[in-house]
């Protein structure tokens, strides 16, 4: 019990003194996940709009498949990305393996189905009269789509936050394709896994607290967005 | 000059025909009111004319350009018209931005947009609401914003789908006032659907009656409301006395129409033996306690069998061998002591009767 207590006290000290190791790992985690989230957003919002605004054969099957991919195991994505970006893989020429780029690439694959599915749901949730009214007011197809996305903005941002939450908390993928290299590809979850094995409990707890704080901020943001939607 | 032409348009959904063979045209500056019961296809036709949906059959021409199919032509035409929906929806932005959005989509410069938006907001009495979140407006205010949004683009054709349905009397009068102002000042063409006959009569040059997806009659308000061409239209425009009968005798244009056990004198061009309906508006019938028909050709005695109070009016049903509905003011009914079983006399002029063909 005293080990946990001591660990907590030291963890708070590390956080309050802005310990360089803790801050470096937290900063790395945040920017890698933010980058993944931005890239996934840039892909999923237009792609989700195309899927939503067009009727084509297999649309329902496609959406079901996307939703199935929400629960993709991170290690499975890690394995796929490893095979793709390893030196002998088809994307080996990009030399991404054991670099932050590989983690970002993997996280984009991991969170894209989640963001894409939620973007489609968000657009579906917009009152059908909104696009119809836009068309009747003279909107082109693109203007109609932009307006509908705007109307669904809170739900879309909620989707992005969910994606960010999934990206920042995943561990298997980061270890497999990032290599958990100190000050380079070490993220909060991979650092917690490593430092716990090493017996650095206070560092693990400090990082765990930061991860929980991030989760809390994400949760509060989601609640605030949902209230705004109402 | 014809602005809109609808040729033989039909619309089907899941093999159910919603509209059948609709033909109509709208001249520049003309106001067309489409009336019909709920579910008759009015909104479907409105959406076809606004080019929101494509017809299953037929052609739609806007300013003599076929806009039935080609998307670029449809967008160009759509940008010359605007629609106010029955239940308008506002976007999640302030009132000003809601009204300005149509101009933005048309690439109108910001300074020009500002002047136009301020003008229409003032016109609809919403100038003080420009910076209010549009989602917080009441139903009447939302409808006025929708009207402003439609007018700001200066449409050549304004489409109004039941513009005053479900609104409070104050909002109705404000919206009607704006519509009348726009019609008179800007001489734009208006195509409106309404269930309010008085509104349709007052605002329109032409009225079309759409029943069960078919345009049963088109004409001036006077023609529609005084001379319906068939029983369905007569019923819809509120002619309560529709009596099935047969021409029994003719003397020039004056015909004796046998109706149940009575004979009604009416003006008709139909021949002896023709099956017809005699249509009589309740307000054209005089009810009295004494046998005095003045110049009226038709006089019947009968007994009141039902009285229904309708605010300041009373709906009286009299059995004079055939049933007749008569309208009286509540005051005169009280003064005359009218109750069920009162013996009364009914009179009406031959010219007050519209005789139409009955297909049996």
- CA dist A166 and A33 (Å) reads 9
Of residues A132, A135, A147, nearest to B91 (C-beta): A147
Burial tier of A128 (Cβ tally within 10 Å: 0-12, 13-18, 19+): exposed
**Two tokens, residue A140:** 């082109």
Q: Which residue has the tokens 């019990």?
A: A1
Contacts of A170-173 spanning 24+ positions with Cβ under 8 A: A170/A74, A170/A107, A170/A110, A171/A74, A172/A73, A172/A74, A172/A75, A172/A78, A173/A74, A173/A75, A173/A77, A173/A78, A173/A81, A173/A103, A173/A106, A173/A107, A173/A110
Number of domains in chain A: 1
Query: Does a structural domain hold residue A194?
Result: no
Residues 274-333 of B with CB under 8 A from A: none
Return the SS3 of B360: coil
Q: Is A199 within a domain?
A: no
Residue B79, classed as helix, strand or coil, is coil
Say how many C-beta atoms besides its own lie within 10 A of residue A206's C-beta: 29
Report d(CA A132, CA A130) in Å as an integer: 5
Q: Smallest Cβ distance to A136: which of B83, B91, B92? A: B83
Is the whole-model pTM more than 0.90?
A: no
Query: Of A206, A225, A165, which Cα lies nearest the Cα of A16?
Result: A206
Could you tell me the two tokens for B268? 């008709």
User: CB-based contact (8 Å) between A225 and chain B?
Assistant: no
Low-confidence residues in chain B, pLDDT < 70: 293, 360
B260, two tokens = 């149940």
Name the residue range of residue A57's domain.
35-184
Q: Identify whether A225 is part of a domain.
A: no
Q: How far apart are CA B112 and CA B263, in angstroms?
A: 69
Rounded Cα gap, residues B348 and B299, in angstroms? 7
The Cα of A58 is separated from the nearest Cα of chain B by a number of Å equal to: 21
pLDDT at A77: 95
Q: Return residues 119-138 of A near B (CB < 8 Å).
A: 127, 129-130, 132-133, 135-138
Q: In what order do the strands lie in the sheet with B2-13?
A: B16-27, B2-13, B57-62, B65-66
The separation between the first and the last C-alpha atoms of chain A, rounded to the nearest angstrom, is 45
Q: From CA A130, how far away is CA B85, in angstroms rounded?
A: 12
- Whether residue A71 lies inside any domain: the answer is yes
DSSP structure class, residue B270: P
Are B75 and A151 a contacting pair at CB < 8 A? no
Cβ–Cβ contact B101 with A under 8 A: yes
Smallest CA–CA distance, residue A217 to chain B, in Å, is: 26
In A, minimum Cα distance to B149 occurs at: A137
Q: What would the DSSP string read from start to end of B154-213? A: --SEEEEESTTTT--HHHHHHHHHHHHHHHHHH--EEEEEES-HHHHHHH-SEEEEEETT
- Judge: B102–A137 Cβ closer than 8 Å, yes or no: yes
pLDDT tens, residue by residue, B107-159: 999 999 999 999 999 999 999 999 999 999 998 899 999 999 999 999 999 99
Q: Is residue A25 part of a domain?
A: no
Residues with Cβ within 8 Å of residue B333, at least 6 apart in sequence: B307, B314, B316
Euclidean distance between CA atoms B111 and B127, whole angstroms: 17
Q: For the domain that residue A100 is a member of, what is the CATH number?
A: 1.10.3720.10
Predicted confidence at residue B90, as pLDDT, reads 95
The whole-angstrom distance between A78's CA and the closest CA on chain B is 41
Measured distance CA(A58)–CA(B254) in Å, rounded: 70
Tokens of B47: 């959406």
Asked whether residue A44 is domain-assigned, the answer is yes
Interface residue A150 vs chain B (CB under 8 A): yes
DSSP characters for B105-151? Answer: HTT--HHHHHHHHHHHHHHTT-GGGTTSBGGG--HHHHHHHHHHHHH
* Residue segments in chain A with a per-residue pLDDT below the cut of 50: 230
The answer to whether the CB of B307 falls within 8 A of the CB of B340 is yes
Question: Model confidence over B152-196: pLDDT tens digits?
Answer: 999 999 999 988 887 888 888 888 888 888 888 888 999 999 878
Taking the C-alpha atoms of residue A226 and residue A205, their distance in angstroms, rounded to an integer, is 31
The span from the CA of B197 to the CA of A62, in Å, is 50
DSSP state of B94: B
B150 CB neighbours in chain A (<8 A) are: 137
Per the domain annotation, does A214 fall within a domain? no
Two tokens at A181? 């290299």
Min Cα separation B38/chain A (Å) = 20
The label of the residue with tokens 């109070």 reads B309
Chain B nearest C-alpha distance from A125 (Å): 14
Angle between helices A20-53 and A2-16 (to 10 degrees): 80
What integer pLDDT is reported at residue B8 of this predicted model? 96
Residue A220 domain flag: no
**Contact residues for B126 (Cβ-Cβ < 8 A; gap 6+):** B95, B141, B144, B145, B148
Structure token digits, residue B142: 């939302």
């Amino acid at each position: 019990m005293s080990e946990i207590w001591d660990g907590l006290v030291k963890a708070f000290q590390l956080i309050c003194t802005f310990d360089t190791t803790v801050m470096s790992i937290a900063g790395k985690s945040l920017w890698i996940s933010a980058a993944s989230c931005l890239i996934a957003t840039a892909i999923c919002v237009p792609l989700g709009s195309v899927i939503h605004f067009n009727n084509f054969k297999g649309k329902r099957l496609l959406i079901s498949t996307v939703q199935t991919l929400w629960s993709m195991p991170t290690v499975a994505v890690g394995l796929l990305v490893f095979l793709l970006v390893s030196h002998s893989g088809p994307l080996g020429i990009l030399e991404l393996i054991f670099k932050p780029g590989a983690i970002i690439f993997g996280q984009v694959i991991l969170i894209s189905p989640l963001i894409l599915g939620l973007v489609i749901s968000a657009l579906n949730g917009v009152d059908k009269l909104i696009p119809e009214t836009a068309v009747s007011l003279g909107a082109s197809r693109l203007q109609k789509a932009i307006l509908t996305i705007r109307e669904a903005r809170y739900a879309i941002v909620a989707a992005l936050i969910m994606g960010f939450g999934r990206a920042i908390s995943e561990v298997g993928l980061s270890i497999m394709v990032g290599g958990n290299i100190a000050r380079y590809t070490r993220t909060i979850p991979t650092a917690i896994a490593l430092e716990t094995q090493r017996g650095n409990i206070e560092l693990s707890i400090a990082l765990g607290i930061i991860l929980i704080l991030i989760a809390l901020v994400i949760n509060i943001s989601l609640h605030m967005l949902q209230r705004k939607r109402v | 000059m014809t602005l809109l032409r609808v040729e033989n348009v039909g619309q089907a959904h899941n093999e159910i025909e919603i509209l059948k063979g609709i033909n109509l045209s709208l001249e520049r500056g003309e106001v067309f009111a489409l009336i019909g019961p709920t579910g008759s296809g009015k909104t479907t036709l409105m959406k076809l004319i606004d080019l929101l949906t494509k017809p299953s059959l037929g052609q739609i021409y806007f300013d003599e350009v076929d806009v039935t199919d080609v998307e670029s032509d449809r967008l160009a035409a759509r940008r010359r018209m605007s629609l106010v929906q029955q239940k308008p929806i506002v976007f999640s932005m302030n009132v000003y931005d809601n009204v300005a959005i149509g101009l933005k989509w048309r690439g109108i410069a910001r300074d020009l947009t500002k002047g136009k938006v301020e003008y229409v907001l003032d016109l609809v009495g919403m100038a003080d609401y420009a910076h209010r979140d549009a989602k917080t407006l009441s139903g009447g205010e939302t409808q006025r914003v929708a009207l402003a949004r439609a007018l700001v683009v200066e449409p050549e054709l304004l489409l109004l789908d039941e513009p005053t349905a479900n609104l409070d009397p104050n909002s109705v009068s404000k919206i009607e006032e704006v519509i009348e102002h726009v019609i008179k000042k800007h001489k734009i063409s208006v195509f409106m659907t309404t269930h309010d006959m008085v509104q349709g009569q007052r605002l329109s040059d032409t009225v079309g009656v759409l029943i069960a997806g078919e345009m049963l009659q088109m004409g001036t308000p006077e023609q529609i409301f005084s001379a319906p061409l068939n029983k369905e239209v007569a019923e819809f425009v509120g002619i309560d006395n529709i009596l099935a009968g047969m021409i029994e005798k003719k003397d020039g244009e004056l015909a004796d129409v046998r109706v149940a056990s009575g004979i009604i004198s009416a003006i008709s061009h139909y021949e002896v033996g023709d099956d017809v309906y005699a249509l009589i508006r309740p307000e054209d019938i005089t009810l009295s306690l004494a046998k005095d028909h003045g110049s009226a050709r038709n006089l019947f005695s009968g007994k009141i069998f039902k009285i229904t109070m309708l605010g300041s009016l009373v709906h009286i049903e009299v059995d004079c061998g055939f049933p007749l509905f008569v309208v009286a003011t509540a005051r005169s009914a009280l003064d005359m002591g009218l109750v069920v079983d009162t013996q009364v006399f009914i009179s009406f002029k031959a010219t007050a009767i519209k005789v139409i063909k009955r297909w049996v």
